[in-house]
Amino acid sequence: MDNISKEARRKNMQNIRSKNTAPELKIMRELKKRRIYFSKHVKKIIGKPDIVFRKKKVIIFIDSDFWHYNPEKFIMPKSNVEYWENKIYRNKKRDAFVNEELLQIGWKVIRIWESEIKSDFDNVINRILKAIE
């Protein structure tokens, strides 16, 4: 069982952002500072990538350690385990499908964990720069 009320849980879940998260904004600020232009949250591209370099055909997804199952950081909630196992499994499956679809139509896909941005920001930026060279 959940240890908070349904209404409190609902309010918590509504406050979780799907775009313009702190890790995304940190990367976007750095790219803008370097005068590297990109599109963000492109709805017409499968998966609605966080950052798109159209001319270079490079797509960046900045993935939450929890929602996208970072095997090194993910901690399974103790309540409602079956729900979370199914939810995370579907997310992983969708990520793999999106990657495959984008690769088949010629995009280079880069997925970055939020924890990578926190722990090794310079390396993350260098990966992006190398991909768009």
Q: Which domains does the chain have, with CATH numbers?
A: 6-132 (3.40.960.10)
Residues counted in the chain: 133
Report the pLDDT value the prediction gives residue 19, as an integer from 0 to 100.
Answer: 73
Q: Alpha helix (H) ranges present in 6-50?
A: 6-14, 22-33
* Segments of the chain assigned E as strands: 39-40, 51-53, 58-63, 108-113
Report the pLDDT value the prediction gives residue 37, as an integer from 0 to 100.
Answer: 95
DSSP-assigned beta bridge partners for residue 53 = 58
What average pLDDT does this structure show over 19-42?
94
- The model's pTM is 0.84
Report the pLDDT value the prediction gives residue 10, as an integer from 0 to 100.
Answer: 53
What's the burial of 112, exposed, middle or buried (CB within 10 Å: 0-12/13-18/19+)? buried
DSSP-assigned beta bridge partners for residue 60 = 51, 110
| Each residue's pLDDT tens digit, 33-65 | 999 999 999 999 999 999 999 999 999 999 999
| Each residue's pLDDT tens digit, 73-127 | 988 888 888 988 999 999 999 999 999 999 999 999 999 999 999 999 999 999 9
